[in-house]
Amino acid sequence: MRQLTLLSPAKLNLYLKVLGKRPDGYHNLETIFERIDLCDEISFRKNRSGKILIRCDNPQVPVGRKNLIFKAAELLQKEFQVPFGVEVTIKKRIPVAAGLAGGSSNAATTLLGLNRLWDLGLSQSILVGFAKKLGSDVAFFLYDTPWALGTERGDRIRKLKIPVRIWHILVVPRTKMYSREVFTHFKLKLTKQNDNANILIRYFKNNNLLKARDYLKNDLETSILSIAPHLNRVISRFSDLGVVGPRFSGSGPAVYGVVESQSHAVALQAVLAPRYRQVFVVRTY
């Protein structure tokens, strides 16, 4: 195989509880991942030079060693003494530093793509081991599932059998947020009695969106707003438009709302688009 093209999807965290700090400096989490149909397109072309070359149509994306695609390719190349290189072309649709895990998804897509392109024959469990070296969100994207529960650093993945596909309205403000900074500002709080991922999972399985929206959760919200208090206006705007329980995804600043239908999401997009440059209608993928 000389080349292939894959989609690299974003995610939302519909539930994110921070359980405490780990000895390695990271935090133990409990989170419900939802894969959504906001996707980058990544093309891989094998070369004989051994070089890893990256092109992207978004100038905000680094194309050198700081890119997780480069790190993923280099890990495989060194570990298995691969004589080939790869030319990677990214058509970027997922906003950068938005809490949607675009970089992590790109890294996972690279592991999957190069496993095929370089004919490595690696199992999922081996790829997951590499994913954990690259970042906490990377492992989720190696599982072919729209829903999963993430524990430990968020990188221990259990697929969830949730049959529904949910529509969302998604706004990404221009403010960039970085996980390290958000977690630095995080202060652990006492767990509330209704902070239970299993309750939310049950409501989603039963397609009870009305109840589910009451249990959407992100412990990082206070930290995000302490860094960027103006983002409160986005949350308020959602509420003013009748969107119940809007939440930040991951470390933000992306704000999503669960809505009843595609038509409802499209109507909200029309209202929000004049104010916000990046407004998306997305669905479970």
Q: Is 57 a catalytic residue?
A: no
Confidence class of residue 192 from pLDDT cuts 50, 70 and 90? low
Alpha-carbon distance of 118 to 120, in angstroms, equals 6
Delimiting residues of CATH 3.30.70.890 domain(s) in the chain: 167-283
Give me the pLDDT at residue 100, please: 98
Query: Given a cut of 60, is residue 188 above it in pLDDT?
Result: yes
Query: Given a cut of 80, is residue 260 above it in pLDDT?
Result: yes
Pairing of strands 85-91, 52-56: parallel
Give me the pLDDT at residue 194, please: 60
Query: Is domain 3-159 in CATH 2.70.98.10, yes or no?
Result: no
The model's pTM:
0.95
Alpha-carbon distance of 8 to 198, in angstroms, equals 28
The predicted-structure confidence for 71-90, as pLDDT tens digits, reads as follows: 999 999 999 999 999 999 99
The predicted-structure confidence for 106-124, as pLDDT tens digits, reads as follows: 999 999 999 999 999 999 9
| Per-residue exposure over 243-256, b if at least 16 CB sit within 10 Å of its own CB, e if not | bebbbbbbbbbbbb
Q: Is 155 a catalytic residue?
A: no
Alpha-carbon distance of 285 to 147, in angstroms, equals 9
Query: Given a cut of 60, is residue 193 above it in pLDDT?
Result: no
Which candidate in 40, 137, 155, 219 is catalytic? 137
Which candidate in 11, 17, 71, 217 is catalytic? 11
Delimiting residues of CATH 3.30.230.10 domain(s) in the chain: 3-159
Helix (H, G, I), strand (E, B) or coil at 17: strand
Q: Rounded to a whole number, what is the largest CA-CA distance in the chain? A: 58
Query: Among all chains, which residue has been given the structure tokens 């094998």?
Result: 46
CB 106 within 8 A of CB 85: no
Average pLDDT of the chain to the nearest whole number: 95
Domain 167-283: CATH superfamily, name plus number: GHMP kinase, C-terminal domain (3.30.70.890)
Alpha-carbon distance of 96 to 119, in angstroms, equals 31
Helix, strand, coil fractions of the chain, as percent rounded to 5: 35, 30, 40
Query: Given a cut of 90, is residue 207 above it in pLDDT?
Result: yes
CB 10 within 8 A of CB 109: no
